[in-house]
Chains A and B, each alone.
Chain A
């Protein structure tokens, strides 16, 4: 009896001291980017991984295997469409993750309600140099003079190009670069010419109102005309302005003239591009690595892959961009060890920012952008200045609601034959209501 009690006490002390001495903690990481445990579950070296899912999975494995504090990161993956609803729910259930991924466009919602931990002083202690972040990224991660997130990338829209089809259409310059339109009229006219000569679609993008790639394009075209979709103070919208009408009419024309297939969903658009059925795919930086690998692999019709910035069609260079960031959700129950582990993990991610930029995303660290290894990545020189022309909505709340309202109305112009002006008026009235409510006008 005494014996077993003593044993138990001994076991307890050992357990306590072992845990306390190392200061090791197990922390929860919540993210999207997909689940690829099958393929990358055993990869401990991020440089051996490819794609968003592969690289982040390998980064976590690498951290778990090598970090000096003996910390363990446990990953909870959520489907992209349900991610924020699930993250929101954790605040109610109490099972709040220690680190979570978040878009720059969503951060204002969480900052305004005091739901994320301020990180400025913690970064300083850990040796994360915020001065190394490019200005746009640092601004995205900050609010009221405080840093609330570790910026991880800047992701923008790009034109992904099938050079063989462009050659066939006669759109390749003597220096081997692709000739892209410089105005909406030229876009349509080149598109028709392209389709005559190649028999394929000039343009392909997700058009089924799920991801709203064309809304990002619409926003880009607005900035190209020098108009902000949302005013800097986040109180008014200019969606149904004359500039908006120009952009929406042009987008509808792309479909009306048969230059793009309106039936393509996200997967379908990628498939059409890879199988040589489209000259240009409009999608983000995150596909560069993937398309490059597929074109090199020789299994698909796409052989000669190139990439370019979204061209200037309306006067100014500008393109939609957002940013993936890491936050530490506020949690009263988090122990100092867990917080320390979370910051150590953020430091590790920041140190390995280059690995993440291999996906095709733009690095947010000036030192990485200036490094020779970054310049040596495939196709990077074709969109080296994207960070300079990248634009995003002002830091207003409820950008997801704004985005979804615009998706429904703008896609209706080609999916349901809605008139551009009517669609924009409808989007405008909804976005105005959302903005009024975000500013707590009811």
Chain B
């Protein structure tokens, strides 16, 4: 009796549990489908292709083992592109984060002028990379650009920024900062807005200086946003492509060729998709490591 009753009591619970699963799956399905088809499948396909001699126009020539990765090891342009990408990220990510935060601090709060400034600073993010690079190429032009007269006024000869191995990368960094500062600024604005007012009121009662208010209240309160911005910036800036591709084509003398540009050229100009996929895997690994490092560093503080 009892033995027979047991399944009877268990089965409705089992059915409801499986029905719960089904419902959950149903709600998840749209996301899962997109995620699997557009992210997981291409990722594994990419890993698989990176071990093959895969031609863009002729298809698969078969497996080549680790050859694509071996070639990377001895390819000076790959190393140069990696170095350029790291250098670019190193210049861009910290300055972008700091500038975005300063801008957010400056334009947060009530007032019409601040509201206008908020839209103005965000506006440049709306443009496409083509427009942005075109504008900055005009600004930077040594003979008829916007900067040239200023430099001349100060008594220096204008530099051909995009044609110089020293200045081309910083010029691209400035372009990127101008273009991309809007989104992190908006994130900081949202974070600043959610800090409880009582904290500031208490600080005011204690006659805390503006500096210590920022250091002890504002910054700790938006810590998680700072980490979010840095991680987003790392992921975005490691994939730098459009700006150097359009402004310098990777030159002069490879000094601004980025990893994504080299991946693009290898895969779509030279049709060596297998080799390009191997590079893409290295880039993926790099972004993963740096993002994880950042997240880990961010979590260290929470344990305290």
Contacts and interface: CB of A to CB of B under 8 A. Distances in A.
Interface string B74-89: 1111000000000000
**Most B CB atoms within 10 A — which of A88, A426, A442?**
A442
Contacts, number: 83
Contacts of A409: 253
A412 interface: yes
B160 A88 contact: no
A430 B75 contact: yes
6 contacts: A209-B253, A265-B163, A404-B269, A405-B77, A409-B253, A426-B76
B27 interface: no
A398 interface: yes
Interface in A364-423: 398, 400-401, 404-405, 408-409, 411-412, 415-416, 418
Interface of A: 81, 84-85, 88, 91, 109, 112-113, 115, 208-210, 263, 265, 398, 400-401, 404-405, 408-409, 411-412, 415-416, 418, 426, 429-430, 433-434, 437, 440, 442
**Most B CB atoms within 10 A — which of A400, A412, A415, A437?**
A437
A180 B229 CA distance: 61
A265 to B, nearest CB: 7
A196 B247 CA distance: 36
B67 A210 contact: no
B121 to A, nearest CB: 32
B254 A412 contact: yes
B61 interface: yes
Contacts of A109: 57, 271
Contacts of B74: 429, 433
Nearest to A208: B163
Contacts of B268: 85, 88
A373 to B, nearest CB: 40
Contacts of A81: 249
A401 B77 CA distance: 12
Category for how many chain B residues contact A: 20 to 34
Given A81-B249, A208-B163, A433-B75, A442 B254 contact: no
Given A210-B249, A405-B77, A416-B255, A88 B56 contact: yes
B57 A208 contact: no
A265 B268 CA distance: 25
B252 A401 contact: no
B77 A408 contact: yes
Given A84-B269, A263-B160, A415 B252 contact: yes
A434 B75 contact: no
B251 A210 contact: yes
Interface string B237-263: 000000000000111111101000000
B270 interface: yes
Contact of A408 (B68, B71, B163, B251): B251
B275 A437 contact: yes
B270 A434 contact: yes
A434 B74 CA distance: 13
B64 A208 contact: no
Contact of B270 (A209, A263, A401): A401
A88 B265 CA distance: 13
**Most A CB atoms within 10 A — which of B71, B270, B275?**
B270
A84 B257 CA distance: 20
A411 B61 contact: no
A113 B57 contact: yes
Nearest to A405: B77
Contact of A430 (B57, B76, B163): B76
Contact of B254 (A115, A408, A434): A408
Contacts of A405: 77
B71 A418 contact: no
Given A88-B57, A209-B253, A411-B253, A401 B275 contact: no
Contacts of B76: 426, 429-430
A416 B253 contact: yes
Contacts of A442: 53, 64, 67-68, 71
Nearest to B268: A85
A415 B253 contact: yes
A84 B264 CA distance: 13
Nearest to B274: A442
A440 B61 contact: yes
Nearest to B245: A81
A416 B269 CA distance: 25
A419 to B, nearest CB: 13
B238 to A, nearest CB: 22
Given A113-B57, A408-B250, 9 more contacts: A263-B142, A398-B271, A416-B255, A429-B76, A433-B74, A434-B270, A440-B61, A442-B53, A442-B71
